[in-house]
Structure 1
Amino acid sequence: MLTVCVTSGKGGVGKTTVSVNLGIAIARAGRRVLLLDGDLGLANINVMLDVRPKYNIQDIVTGRRTLEQVITPTTYGIDLLAGATGIAELADLREPERQSLIRGLAGLRGYDVLIIDTGAGIGDNVIRFVLASDEILLVTTPHPTSLTDAYGTIKSILANESRSIKLIVNSVSSIKDARSAAERLVGVTDKFLDGSLECIGYIPSDGLIEKSIMQRKPHIVINPSSSSAQKIQEIAMRLIGKQAADSKKGFSRFLQRMFG
Structure 2
Amino acid sequence: MRTLCVTSGKGGVGKTTLSINLGIALARAGRKVLLLDGDLGLANLNVMLGIIPKHTIHDVIRGHKTLAQIVIPTPYGLDLIAGANGIAELADLGERERVQVMRDLEALNGYDFLIIDTGAGIGDNVVRFVLAADDVLIVTTPHPTSLTDAYGIIKTILAQEAKPLKLLVNCAPSPADAKRVATRLAGVTDRFMNGTLEFVGHVPVDSLIEKSILAQKPHLILNPGSTSARCIEQAATRLVNGQTPNLTSSLGRFLKRLIGH
TM-score relative to the length of structure 2: 0.92
Retained in 2: the 8 A contact 1:142–1:172?
yes
Deviations along 1:114-145, whole A, 9 cap, x unmatched?
00000011122211111111110000000000
Tell me how far apart the structure 2 counterparts of residues 115 and 27 of structure 1 sit (CA, whole Å).
12
SS in 2 for 1:212: helix
Q: CA deviation at 1:101?
A: 5.1
1:119 partnered with 2:119: yes
Q: CA deviation at 1:242?
A: 3.1
Tell me how far apart the structure 2 counterparts of residues 165 and 184 of structure 1 sit (CA, whole Å).
15
SS in 1 for 2:107: coil
Deviations along 1:38-77, whole A, 9 cap, x unmatched?
0023101111111111101111121211011111111000
Are residues 146 and 101 of structure 1, via their aligned partners in 2, closer, same or farther at CA, if it must alter by over 3 Å?
Answer: farther
Q: Which residue of 1 aligns with 2:92?
A: 96
Q: Which residue of 2 aligns with 1:162?
A: 162
Which residues in structure 2 correspond to 1:178-193 (within 5 Å)? 178-193=178-193
Are residues 47 and 71 of structure 1, via their aligned partners in 2, closer, same or farther at CA, if it must alter by over 3 Å?
Answer: same
Q: CA deviation at 1:184?
A: 1.1
Which ranges in structure 1 are unaligned for 5 or more consecutive residues? Answer: none
Tell me how far apart the structure 2 counterparts of residues 7 and 97 of structure 1 sit (CA, whole Å).
26
1:108 partnered with 2:104: no
Tell me how far apart the structure 2 counterparts of residues 249 and 12 of structure 1 sit (CA, whole Å).
32
Q: Which residue of 2 aligns with 1:138?
A: 138
Retained in 1: the 8 A contact 2:113–2:245?
no
Q: Which residue of 1 aligns with 2:55?
A: 55
Are residues 41 and 103 of structure 1, via their aligned partners in 2, closer, same or farther at CA, if it must alter by over 3 Å?
Answer: farther
Which ranges in structure 2 are unaligned for 5 or more consecutive residues? Answer: none
Retained in 2: the 8 A contact 1:4–1:116?
yes
SS in 1 for 2:202: strand
Q: Which residue of 2 aligns with 1:78?
A: 78
Tell me how far apart the structure 1 counterparts of residues 249 and 218 of structure 2 sit (CA, whole Å).
31
TM-score relative to the length of structure 1: 0.93
- Cα RMSD for the two superposed structures: 1.8
Retained in 2: the 8 A contact 1:140–1:170?
yes
Q: Which amino acid aligns with 1:154?
A: I
Q: Which amino acid aligns with 2:24?
A: I
Q: Which amino acid aligns with 1:19?
A: S
Q: Which amino acid aligns with 1:198?
A: E
Q: CA deviation at 1:259?
A: 2.7
Tell me how far apart the structure 2 counterparts of residues 49 and 91 of structure 1 sit (CA, whole Å).
21
Q: Which amino acid aligns with 1:16?
A: T
Same amino acid, percent of matched pairs:
59
Aligned residues: 256
Deviations along 1:73-97, whole A, 9 cap, x unmatched?
110001000015xx6xx38546224
Q: Which amino acid aligns with 1:145?
A: T
Q: Which residue of 1 aligns with 2:234?
A: 234
